[in-house]
């Protein structure tokens, strides 16, 4: 029933880093992962390896870019495709932060569909990597379907066939990014209407989706569902998604997930000088809903000061919590 449908883990700055994605992939083999947003100028002028390297186990993985300069976008697309083997790139047209707006990227680009179109064209001219756009349903306090439709029409004409739509407006003055994820009201109908009017586009809905029942409902109208905060808060929600959407009944137990994470942590500490906490912090919510969840969080808060074998440290902390 859900054969051609997709579930995505939303890009989240300072959360969906490579360690988080490796951990999430241990739970779910079918969801598509996103990197955090990475500005194009950081990639062009910065340490590409540090910014873009990831474990091959993370596939399928999409790199999200922040930028608005077509030439720079195209350079990054080429690097993503040829040097790092990403499965797709995505242009951020949804981030409402001031800093991002000053750099002329993120949600303010909803008002500049021509610039987004130029980016799409330039990327397609220079690489074969699939390109998509993640946007909002509009800008400001008033919802305006025609505004969204015109944006989608213009950008799709430039060759973008895949849209991730966060079903809220972005309010660029007066609301910080955090409030921009809760205060503007959700309007899923706008997203359904886009799919109805543009049946050839692949449309994924995002925003406030936190249970299987609503995922199933959305999948009746659109091609995919993207989830951010709920998966971070409760990563084992992915097991339910695997079972209910992908009919995969073979997910690892929580214990097995931690056991599988141990060699990864050891290798990251040894090869990349990662701290244990920089990886285990993503497992904070692994026991959400279980009796010992609070104990696990308290344990993780002290983990950087613990001495000994990584395996012993991890398994000791979790031993009384497993189901
Ligand atoms: C901490 C945090 C960081 C985020 N960073 C990004 C980002 O880098 N790029 C992006 O397109 N959206 C970003 N978002 C927005 C999410 O991708 C998503 O659109 C939003 O959280 C709504 O989905 P949700 O209700 O399932 O969390 C971020 C959200 C949060 C909470």
Q: How far is the CA of 316 from the centre of ligand 1 (A)?
A: 33
Q: Say if residue 208 is in the same domain as residue 284.
A: no
State the angle between helix axes of 310-318 and 254-272 in degrees (0 to 180), rounded to the nearest 10.
150
Question: Above pLDDT 70, what percent of the chain?
Answer: 99
CATH of the domain at 92: 3.20.20.70
pLDDT of 267 above 80? yes
Atom of ligand 1 nearest to the CA of 134: 11
Q: Say if residue 242 is in the same domain as residue 164.
A: yes
Q: Say if residue 277 is in the same domain as residue 194.
A: no
Q: What is the pLDDT of residues 66-109, one digit of tens each?
A: 999 999 999 999 999 999 999 999 999 999 887 777 778 899 99
Q: Say if residue 108 is in the same domain as residue 236.
A: yes
Q: Say if residue 270 is in the same domain as residue 239.
A: no
Phi, psi of 164 (to 5 degrees): -110, 120
Q: How far is the CA of 65 from the centre of ligand 1 (A)?
A: 14
Which burial class, exposed, middle or buried, applies to 205 when counting CB atoms under 10 A from its CB (0-12, 13-18, 19+)?
buried
Q: Is the CB of 93 under 6 A from ligand 1?
A: no
Q: How far is the CA of 94 from the centre of ligand 1 (A)?
A: 9
Q: Say if residue 45 is in the same domain as residue 128.
A: yes
Domain that holds residue 74: 6-246
List beta partners, residue 202. Answer: 162
List beta partners, residue 34. Answer: 62
Q: Which residue has the tokens 């249970």?
A: 211
What is the rounded average pLDDT of the residues 263-267? 97
Q: Say if residue 263 is in the same domain as residue 166.
A: no
Q: Give the separation between CA 55 and CA 19, rounded to whole angstroms.
A: 9
Q: Say if residue 45 is in the same domain as residue 179.
A: yes
With respect to residue 301, please indicate whether it lies within any of the assigned structural domains: yes
With respect to residue 142, please indicate whether it lies within any of the assigned structural domains: yes
pLDDT of 154 above 90? yes
Does the pTM exceed 0.85? yes
DSSP state of 17: S
Q: How far is the CA of 12 from the centre of ligand 1 (A)?
A: 5
With respect to residue 115, please indicate whether it lies within any of the assigned structural domains: yes
Is 108 marked active-site? no
What is the rounded average pLDDT of the residues 155-174? 95
Atom of ligand 1 nearest to the CA of 210: 26
Q: Is the CB of 12 under 6 A from ligand 1?
A: yes
With respect to residue 1, please indicate whether it lies within any of the assigned structural domains: no
With respect to residue 28, please indicate whether it lies within any of the assigned structural domains: yes
Three-state secondary structure call for residue 227: strand
| Average pLDDT value for the chain | 95
Alpha helices in 63-112 (DSSP H): 70-78, 98-102
Alpha-carbon separation of residue 98 from 181, 234, 261 (angstroms): 15, 29, 37
Q: Say if residue 183 is in the same domain as residue 70.
A: yes
User: What pLDDT shows up at residue 37?
Assistant: 97
Q: Is the CB of 95 under 6 A from ligand 1?
A: yes
What total of structural domains would you count in the chain? 2
Q: Is the peptide bond before 138 cis (omega within 30 degrees of 0)?
A: no
Q: Give the separation between CA 16 and CA 73, rounded to whole angstroms.
A: 21
Tell which of 200, 228, 246 closes a domain.
246
User: What pLDDT shows up at residue 323?
Assistant: 55
pLDDT of 139 above 90? yes
Tell which of 207, 223, 246 closes a domain.
246
pLDDT band at 322 (very low <50, low <70, confident <90, very high): low
Tell which of 214, 246, 278 closes a domain.
246
With respect to residue 323, please indicate whether it lies within any of the assigned structural domains: no
Q: Is the CB of 64 under 6 A from ligand 1?
A: yes
Please give the order of strands across the beta sheet that includes 6-9: 6-9, 224-227, 202-206, 162-170, 131-139, 88-93, 61-66, 33-39
pLDDT of 130 above 60? yes
pLDDT of 270 above 70? yes
Atom of ligand 1 nearest to the CA of 94: 11
């Amino acid at each position: 029933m859900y054969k051609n449908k997709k579930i995505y883990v939303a890009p989240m700055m300072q959360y969906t880093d490579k360690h988080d994605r490796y951990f999430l992939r241990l739970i779910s083999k079918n969801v598509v992962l996103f990197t955090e947003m990475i500005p194009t100028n950081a990639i062009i002028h910065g340490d590409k390896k540090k910014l873009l390297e990831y474990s091959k186990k993370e596939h399928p993985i999409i790199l999200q870019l922040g930028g608005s300069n077509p030439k720079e976008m195209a350079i990054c697309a080429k690097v993503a495709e040829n040097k790092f083997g990403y499965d797709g790139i995505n242009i951020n047209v949804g981030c409402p932060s001031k800093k991002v707006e000053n750099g002329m990227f993120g949600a303010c680009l909803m008002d500049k569909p021509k610039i987004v179109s130029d980016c799409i064209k330039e990327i397609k001219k220079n690489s074969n990597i699939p390109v998509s756009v993640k946007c909002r349903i509009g800008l400001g306090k008033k919802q305006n379907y025609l505004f969204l439709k015109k944006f989608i029409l213009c950008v799709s004409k430039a060759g973008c066939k895949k849209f991730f739509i966060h079903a809220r407006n972005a309010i660029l003055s007066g609301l910080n990014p955090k409030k921009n994820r809760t205060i503007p009201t959700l309007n899923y109908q706008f997203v359904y209407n886009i799919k109805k009017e543009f049946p050839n586009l692949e449309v994924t809905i995002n925003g406030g989706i936190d249970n299987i029942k609503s995922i199933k409902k959305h999948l009746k109208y659109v091609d995919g569902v993207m989830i951010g905060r709920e998966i971070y808060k409760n990563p084992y929600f992915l097991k339910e998604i695997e079972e209910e959407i992908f009919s995969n009944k073979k997910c690892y137990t929580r214990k097995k997930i931690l056991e599988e994470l141990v060699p990864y942590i050891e290798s990251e500490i040894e090869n990349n000088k990662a701290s244990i906490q920089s990886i285990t912090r993503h497992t904070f919510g692994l026991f959400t809903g279980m009796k010992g969840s609070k104990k696990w969080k308290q344990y993780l808060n002290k983990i950087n000061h613990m001495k000994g074998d990584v395996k012993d440290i991890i398994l000791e902390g979790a031993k009384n919590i497993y189901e």
